[in-house]
Amino acid sequence: MVTRLRPTWAVRVRPHLKTVSCVWWPLTPGLRGGRNEGGSLSLMLTWPTELDLQNCSLKDPGTNIFQASTAVIIDLQANPLKDDLASTFRGFTQLQTLILPQDVTCPGGVHAWDSVTSFTDKQICQGQKDLCNSTGSPEMCPENGSCASDGPGLLQCLCADGFHGYKCTRQGSFPLLMFFGILGSTTLAISILLWGTQRRKAKAS
């Protein structure tokens, strides 16, 4: 059984706006989004739980969709989306229902979801799996790190408290003061060198 999301939203076409042609609002005020001229998503604010973006002529959700990473339900059916959405939903760890055009594959594939159901006009990806807990999942993290979900079909390795660096092998806090000190000194030296070179060229001419 699929719950219809349409009544939750108001989708309006505003032809007098050049940058937005499909604008939507949730019942809870605070988030608004739309499609810009390039067919990608434009969002403002960050805390929706349900997004109904069906039939908004979106070709690519774009990087701005990350602002809606707390969404639990996203409806993108009836959009001319590209097929490869593998990394589009990175960080969407709370996403549980994703409705896509029928010819677009669920991000992460069938193994990233509890169920994938195809209809003549849409495909529903439901129940995002935490692949870190999946049986037979490869050990991808070192001894001082732990696996964490990073969205549908995506994993990340987080260093334990007190460890950082390559494969979480360095202990203690990251030396920010030393890092920015070296970076600042190097930048200043290069700037002085370039300034001196430009002065000599100017005098020579």
- Candidates 48, 100, 56; CA nearest to 77 is 100
What is the model's pLDDT at position 35? 52
Sign of the C-alpha dihedral computed for residues 136, 140, 142 and 146 taken in this order: negative
Query: pLDDT tens-digit profile of 39-81?
Result: 555 554 445 588 888 888 888 887 778 888 888 999 999 999 9
The stretch 112-131 carries a mean pLDDT of 95
- Helix residue ranges, H only, 76-175: none
Strands 23-25 and 170-171: unpaired
Q: In percent, how much of the chain has pLDDT > 70?
A: 72
Which two structure tokens, joined as six digits, stand for 114?
């509890």
From residue 131, give the alpha-carbon distance in Å to each of 11, 110, 125, 127, 140. 35, 12, 15, 12, 11
69-78, 90-99, 175-184, 185-194 — most confident range: 90-99
CA distance 149 to 51: 22
Query: pLDDT tens-digit profile of 164-182?
Result: 888 888 887 666 777 788 8
Question: What is the pTM assigned to this prediction?
Answer: 0.65
Whether the per-residue pLDDT at 17 is higher than 60: the answer is no
